[in-house]
Each structure stands twice: as structure tokens, then as C-alpha cells.
Amino acid sequence: MKKVYRFAVYAAGLLILALGIALNTKTGLGVSPIISVSYSISYITGFDFGNMTLCLYILFVIAQFAIKGKNAQKKDILQIPLSIVFTRFLNLFADLLPEGPTVLWQQFLLLLAAVWLTGMGLSMSVNMRLIPNPGDGIVQAIADRTHREMGLVKNLFDVGNITVTAVVGFVSGHPLLGIGAGTVVAVLGVGRSVAVFNHFFKDSMDRLAEKG
């Protein structure tokens, strides 16, 4: 039963994470850095947002194997089927959720909900120590290879994604597409949401994730 609960928490975490990301795209205040590249390309080309995110995640997995070299593990490839399932739910939530509000204070309330759900889902899925989300997997791989603290690498990786998104936007004639106050709030807020959630539930999740 412990394994069943562990997988249930992991699956619930991924669903909550997908919901948080989908909500973020509805705020109209900019999206989180990790999906800003796929969001901007999807908006410009008209290609499906979930499929573009899947392509990005596959590139992250390939990059992990290149970064890890001989330290890469076969189980890392499982991030690809995980990404397929995850992005299908991302599309489902994006289709089911109505368009976001246009009043600024309502947009910020929706943004806060999105950031909290993203942090909550991220914490639940990561703490179960199963298959990492490719966005987290590549950050961990870079941190291990460079011997840098993961939080610092995450911040630099976010900056890199924002930079790519900005370049794509300017080249296509859509300056700052996908980048806004919501992007900054996501950079700062998701980590705080993870910290708050872990403060109350980390010990319980660690016990659940322990091998029996």
C-alpha cells in the first residue's frame, strides 16, 4: 500500500503541476520561464502548445544524456513517456479552462493560484523520487556536472529560457511575448510555494518515498 500511496501522490503532483502551468497561461501577465519558449513558439506558429512543450521536454532529455555522459542512466529515458502523458493533461486543462480575466487584480489572484499550484505539484512529484519532470531533470544534471547549488542553476536556467523567449519574440515582431510581471512572480513565487508546502508536508512525503 505504501507504494500505491507513493505513486498516487506522484501522479496527483503531476496533475496539479499541469493545472498550475495551464492556469499561468490564462493570466495574461506572462508565463513561467520553463514553458515560455514553447508558449511563444506555439503562439507565433499556431502549433499546439502541448506538442511544442513535448518537443522542448524531449530536447531537455537529450541534453541530459549529453551532459551526464557515462553517468546517464537508462531510466532517464522514461522522462519521454512521462512528458507525453504530462503534456496531454496540459492540453486538456488548457482547453477546459476558460479564458482568464482582464481586470488586473483578478489576473493577479489567478496568478497567485497558478504559482501556488505549480509549487505544490512540483513538490509532490519531486519528493516521491520517481521519474523527474524533464525541466527539473536537466537542472539537476547541470548542477551535478558543474558542482553548483541547484537553486542557483535553476535561476540561471530560468534566465536562459527568458532570454531565448525574448529573442524569439523580437525576431518574430512580438516583443516580450509570454514575458511579463507573471514571469517574475513565477520565478520568485514557485520556489517559495515549494518551501511553504515542504515545511508542512516534507517529512511525511520523505517517509512515504523511503524504500520499504
**pTM for the whole structure:** 0.88
* pLDDT (0 to 100) of residue 212: 46
- How would you write the pLDDT of the chain (212 residues) with one tens digit per residue? 788 899 999 999 999 999 999 999 899 998 888 899 999 999 999 999 999 999 999 999 999 999 999 888 888 999 999 999 999 999 999 899 999 899 999 999 999 999 999 989 988 988 888 998 898 889 888 988 998 877 778 888 988 999 999 999 999 888 888 899 889 898 888 888 888 898 899 898 888 888 64
- Supply the pLDDT for residue 134: 92
Q: Cα–Cα distance between 120 and 110 in angstroms, integer?
A: 15
Grid coordinates given for 52: 511544442
3-class SS of residue 124: helix
Q: What local confidence, expressed as pLDDT, does residue 211 receive? A: 60
Joined together, the cell numbers standing for residue 1 give 500500500
The whole-number pLDDT of residue 140 equals 84
CA–CA dist 148, 197 (Å, integer):
24
CA 141-144-146 angle, 5° bins: 105
pLDDT score recorded for residue 208: 87
Q: How far apart are CA 187 and CA 107, in angstroms?
A: 17
